[in-house]
Chains A and B, each alone.
Chain A
Amino acid sequence: MTMFEMKDLVKQFDDVTACDHVTFHIKKGETYGLVGESGSGKSTIAGMIIGLLEPTSGSIRMNGESLWQNGNYKRNKDGAIQIVFQDPQSSLDPRMTVRQIITEPLRVLPKAVRRERSDDRYLANLLKRVGLNEGHLDRHPHEFSGGQRQRIAIARAVITDPQFIILDEPTSALDVSVQAQILNLLNSLQQERQLTYLFISHDMSVIRYMCDRVGVLYHGKMVEEDETDSLFKAPRHEYTRKLLSSLPQLKSEEDQYV
């Protein structure tokens, strides 16, 4: 079943077309990967989905309903779309406590839900689920490592019980051993909560591991889209091939002695 449908999406900034007639869909429960280099339009697309950037033309539908109507952003359900950014250093307000940070998205929800989810026990469970503990609730972001901060950002994203989360380079600023922890957490949360992900990354090995299908962006255009396996095994577009051949690879032993 299709959850998201982007049709002929265009975003024009003065003389730059950041997103150039992009069409794709995201199925419910899948992880859809968007890859491309800086300036390829990945984050522009994310911005239009969460309502930060108004599309110049084209449409985005979530569960059949248009997200943008006459220049206004309409949520089809409050808190249904969430986002986790690359740099938890700048995406968490340094003056807020963890409690304030992760309960902030509740503001848009009905009072009863708000009360239930800002309860200490609920928050303790949530923190535990993302690998932190309740003792962390009243601390500030600077007291945490990069990986822990990203866990806080993930807790903030799931507290509204979203259907869909945009993961915009969620592990690019992390050490590899921490990256593994965060990727595992994202995968297990997805299973538990039947989440749909849009995973944005420039890291092809992470994309290959996480995504069911992948779209490749180049200068604002989607030049290729495919199931992850076929895209990596048989890339059709010249740019995808270049991208894949540029990847440094951990050589296996056989390669060393050939």
Chain B
Amino acid sequence: MLLEINDLSVSFSSIHGTFHVLDQVSMHIGPGEIIGVVGESGSGKSVTALTILRLLQDNASIDSGKILFQNQSLLDLTEKEVQTLRGKKIGMVFQEPMTALNPTMKIGRQLANVIRKHRGVSKKEAAELAVRALEDVKIKDPEKVAQKYPFQLSGGMRQRVVIALAMSAPPQLLIADEPTTALDVTVQSEILKLMKELSQKKGTSIMFITHDLAVVSDFCDRVYVMYQGKIVESGQTGEVLSQPQHPYTRALIESLPEGKKKDEPLKVLEGEPFNLAERPAGCVFFERCPLRAERCRSTLPVVSKGKHHRVACWEADHDHV
């Protein structure tokens, strides 16, 4: 296993109280695997990524759990040790490429700096490798682009540059948090294709964080569905999305307008998510669940459906073999 997260709980404290943003989250990523982490705002998907990268803010505390990366406990490393890992073994791509690039430095130099740091090559070699890295992300005319500043590029081009930066080591794991959300669909499909190719070519695993189920369906081998800091369902993408077992996953899929006619109202999830300062004892979805029963109030099961499919719901027991 490349990455293993076990029972990770994280909370944020502020003057408004303590917010339990991750509640016993467990997931794993194998070498070369592409997994999706999907959920809505506040579900904890980005916090999971930041915890792995050890980039949580000062008011965050890790209340329990372990993260093993290549059998090394990430949470026990010193800041210095983490820095050698970040970027080199674990790359990252965020939603907004402009904020990930230095606006005052030419693209080629930014890349060369990173390459020198990771590989310890000469300046001249690094500059050549930078151009090759731009070629790798299918940028036409890489020599010319290397001489440009970030503001001179389009959003899609910038995200390619960020991916080139993230993949320059190349890392064993790439964490991509909504990398295509700010992009147009035609550009999105090119970027996804590119990431998949790079993953295959360099053997890099990808943790793909998104709110977009359709993108997960196209792109990921396995998926984790999160709701309010909890993984409610996980399994092979095709299976989870075509036979969703958790009422939340079902509601999420049914609320999509795909394939529906205007005169049929979309299915709507009633109510609002609970306040993270007051975590319920039992099921996180209890208040909004159409299938809730008394036992859900106090306990939350993890039910296995088949070999890889896990569902945090009592109801998943009944139907379907």
User: With A and B bound together, what is the CA distance between A253 and B243 in angstroms?
Assistant: 8
- Check A175–B41 contact: CB distance below 8 A: yes
A69 within 8 Å of B by Cβ?
no
By the criterion CB–CB under 8 Å, are A176 and B186 in contact?
A: no
Number of interface residues of B (CB under 8 A): 39
Query: Cβ of A202 and Cβ of B184 under 8 Å apart?
Result: yes
Q: Mark A157-193, 1 if CB is under 8 A from B, else 0.
A: 0000000000000000001111111011001100000
Which bucket holds chain A's interface residue count? 35 or more
B255 proximity list for chain A (CB < 8 A): 176-177, 179-180
Contact (Cβ within 8 A) A256 B238 = yes
The residue on B at minimum CB distance from A239 is B186
Chain B residues near A250 (CB, 8 Å)? 213-214, 217, 241, 253, 256, 258
Picked from B238, B261, B266, the residue with its CB within 8 Å of the CB of A183 is B266
A246 touches B185 (CB 8 A): yes
A249 at the interface (CB under 8 A from B): yes
Most chain A beta carbons < 10 A, residue from B184, B215, B218, B252: B184
B252 and A187 contact, CB distance less than 8 A: no
Q: A205-B258, A206-B257, A249-B214 are in contact. Are A177 and B268 (CB under 8 A)?
A: yes
Interface of A is mostly: helix
Q: A183-B257, A243-B185, A256-B242 are in contact. Are A248 and B266 (CB under 8 A)?
A: no
CB-CB under 8 A from B238, the residues of chain A are: 251, 253, 256
Partner of A181, one of B242, B252, B261, B268: B268
CB neighbours (8 Å) of A256 from chain B are 238-239, 242
Q: Which of A24-49 contact B (CB under 8 A)?
A: 31, 37-38
Is there an interface contact between B184 and A177, defined as CB atoms closer than 8 Å? no
Point out the residues of chain B lying under 8 angstroms from A252, CB to CB.
Answer: 242
For B188, the chain A residues whose CB sits under 8 A away are 246, 248
Bound together, the chains give a CA A192 to CA B215 distance in angstroms of 35
* Proximity bits, B176-202, A CB within 8 Å = 1, else 0: 000000001111110010000000000
B256 contacts A246, CB within 8 Å? no
Distance (whole angstroms) from the CB of B42 to the closest CB of chain A: 9
Residue B40 interfacial (CB < 8 Å): yes
Closest to A148 in B: B272
Please report which residues of chain A, range 143-158, place their CB below 8 angstroms from some CB of chain B when the two chains form the complex. 145-146
Q: Which residues of chain B come closer than 8 Å to A183, judged between CB atoms? A: 257, 266
| Nearest B residue (CB) for A36 | B184
Q: Which chain A residues border B186 with CB–CB below 8 Å?
A: 37, 242-243, 246
Q: Is A67 an interface residue (CB 8 A)?
A: no
Query: With A and B bound together, what is the CA distance between A178 and B272 in angstroms?
Result: 10
A180 touches B268 (CB 8 A): yes
A245 to B258 alpha-carbon distance, docked (Å): 15
Q: Which residues of B sit under 8 angstroms from A13, Cβ to Cβ? A: none
Q: Is the CB of B189 within 8 A of A246?
A: yes
Residue of B nearest to A249 (CB): B214
Would you call A247 an interface residue if the criterion is a C-beta within 8 Å of the partner chain's C-beta atoms? Answer: yes
Q: Is B219 an interface residue (CB 8 A)?
A: yes
Q: A248 to B212, Cβ gap below 8 A?
A: yes
> Is B301 interfacial (CB 8 A cutoff)?
no
Residue B54 lies at the interface, judged by CB distance under 8 Å to chain A:
no
Task: Give bound CA distance, A188 to B212, whole Å.
Answer: 26
Q: Is the CB of A37 within 8 A of B251?
A: no
Please pick, from A38, A146, A178, the residue contacting B184 in the complex, using a CB distance under 8 A: A38
Contact with A177, one of B241, B242, B261, B269 (Cβ below 8 angstroms):
B269
B217: A residues at CB distance < 8 A: 248-251
Report the minimum CB–CB distance from A30 to chain B (whole Å).
11
CB of B215 within 8 A of CB of A248, answer yes
Docked CA distance A208–B256 (Å): 12
Report yes or no: A184 in contact with B266, Cβ–Cβ below 8 A: yes
Q: Can you list 6 A-B contacts with CB-CB less than 8 angstroms, sorted by A residue number?
A: A180-B267, A184-B268, A204-B185, A248-B192, A250-B241, A253-B243
Which residue numbers of A lie inside 8 Å of B, CB to CB? 31, 37-38, 145-146, 175-181, 183-184, 187-188, 202, 204-206, 208-210, 242-243, 245-253, 256
Known A179-B255, A184-B268, A188-B265; 16 more pairs at CB < 8 Å: A38-B155, A38-B184, A177-B268, A180-B266, A180-B267, A180-B269, A183-B257, A204-B185, A205-B256, A206-B257, A209-B260, A247-B189, A248-B217, A249-B258, A250-B217, A250-B241
The 9 A-B residue pairs with the shortest CB-CB distance in the complex, in nearest-first order: A209-B257, A256-B238, A180-B255, A37-B184, A175-B40, A180-B266, A253-B242, A246-B189, A248-B214
